[in-house]
């Protein structure tokens, strides 16, 4: 690792690559994945903010309507964990599906729930913010630094439990989100489990960035020389819909979720993508030449204007002196 740090410093002594992935992933109304790569330290910081909205509809004259029509609850929990924690290892496993070189050293988690109900609908909004420090993304070969980003499209399968402020809680599955947000409403939580517990929606992961699995080399690339930023962007057309319904005693009930996947990757500095690998490189010569030409033109222009000013001023002084020397 020391050798790798030294090689990074020699090649990119001042480089810090910031990679931002913004996506609306399946099951999430708005999910943002940010990856900051630091070639100098060989580390990457991942921050995934997953916001999941679950809507449960029911008849206004049903028993469950009476239980949920006045629901208004919220929950906010946080915690920090090292690489040995069970939840951290679960996150590590989701990266292993893509790249066995990626290692998670520490994780901080923030979890929030909001649940509000009326006579016909219960809306649960769950926001999970997972911040992790990872190593193993970088490699150096023949003086070239590359970063493998295939693992950005990770999906956490199964429960990911963390002891948050004394509560051992799963921060991933949709079913857990429904149960936890209704912890003070035992009848309603039990009713939902009995009605929909055997459906696929109960075990659906909310930490799901699989919509970003298209190779970075297929994304639209743009380099902005003014800000020295390379951007890879991709929008996935259409919506990802998931819903399940049940007919109980002649009354209809449903659970539904909708998302619009899209993504943006932004790196400070110049980078090329091949598949899911970014190769860090100096700014292209054409871009540098354009910048240098612009600088030379501006400097030359200023020199001409300045020289002209002094010549004009000198001539003006000469005319003034000559006029003063004329006999009266």
Distance CA(221)–CA(234), nearest Å, equals 9
CA distances (Å), 171 to each of 174, 175, 177, 256, 325, in order? 9, 10, 8, 19, 93
Q: What is the mean pLDDT of each run of 10 residues along the chain (328 residues)?
A: 45 40 40 77 85 90 93 93 94 90 94 94 92 90 85 91 94 88 86 82 84 83 80 62 83 76 62 88 61 31 36 43 37
pLDDT tens digits, one per residue of 1-57: 444 444 444 444 433 444 343 333 333 346 777 787 777 788 888 888 888 888 999
Q: Nearest 5 degrees, angle CA 181-CA 185-CA 188?
A: 95
CB distance 134 to 105 below 8 Å: yes
pLDDT tens digits, one per residue of 45-67: 888 888 888 899 999 999 999 99
Strand, coil or helix: what is 27? coil
pLDDT at 51: 82
Q: Minimal CA–CA distance to 148: which of 203, 226, 217?
A: 217
Residues 268-278 as b/e (b if ≥16 CB within 10 A, e otherwise) read bbbbbbeebbb
According to DSSP, the residues that pair with 270 across neighbouring strands are: 281
pLDDT at 129: 93
Token digits of residue 34: 């940010």
């Amino acid at each position: 690792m020391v050798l790798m740090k030294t090689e990074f410093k020699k090649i990119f002594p001042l480089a810090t690559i910031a990679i931002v992935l913004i996506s609306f992933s399946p099951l999430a109304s708005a999910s943002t994945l940010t990856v900051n790569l630091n070639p100098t330290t060989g580390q990457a910081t991942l921050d995934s903010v997953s916001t999941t909205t679950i809507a449960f509809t029911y008849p206004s004259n049903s028993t469950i309507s009476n239980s949920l029509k006045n629901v208004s609850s919220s929950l906010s929990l946080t915690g920090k964990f090292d690489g040995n924690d069970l939840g951290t290892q679960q996150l590590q496993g989701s990266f292993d599906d893509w790249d066995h070189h990626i290692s998670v050293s520490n994780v901080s988690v923030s979890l929030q729930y909001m649940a509000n109900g009326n006579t016909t609908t219960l809306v649960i909004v769950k926001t999970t913010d997972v911040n992790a420090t990872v190593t193993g993304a970088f490699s150096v070969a023949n003086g070239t630094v590359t970063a493998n980003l295939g693992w950005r499209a990770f999906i956490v399968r199964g429960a990911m439990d963390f002891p948050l402020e004394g509560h051992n809680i799963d921060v991933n599955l949709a079913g857990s989100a429904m149960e936890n947000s209704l912890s003070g409403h035992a009848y309603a939580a039990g009713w939902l489990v009995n009605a929909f517990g055997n459906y696929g929606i109960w075990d659906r992961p909310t930490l799901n960035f699989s919509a970003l699995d298209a190779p970075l080399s297929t994304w639209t690339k743009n380099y902005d020389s003014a800000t020295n930023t390379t951007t890879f962007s991709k929008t996935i057309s259409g919506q990802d819909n998931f819903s399940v319904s049940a007919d109980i005693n002649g009354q209809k009930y449903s659970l539904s979720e909708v998302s619009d996947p899209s993504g943006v990757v932004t790196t400070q500095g110049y980078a090329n993508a091949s598949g899911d690998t970014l190769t860090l490189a100096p700014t292209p010569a054409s871009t540098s030449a354009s910048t240098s030409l612009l600088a030379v033109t501006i400097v030359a222009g200023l020199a001409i204007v300045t020289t002209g000013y002094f010549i004009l001023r000198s001539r003006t002084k000469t005319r003034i002196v000559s006029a003063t020397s004329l006999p009266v």
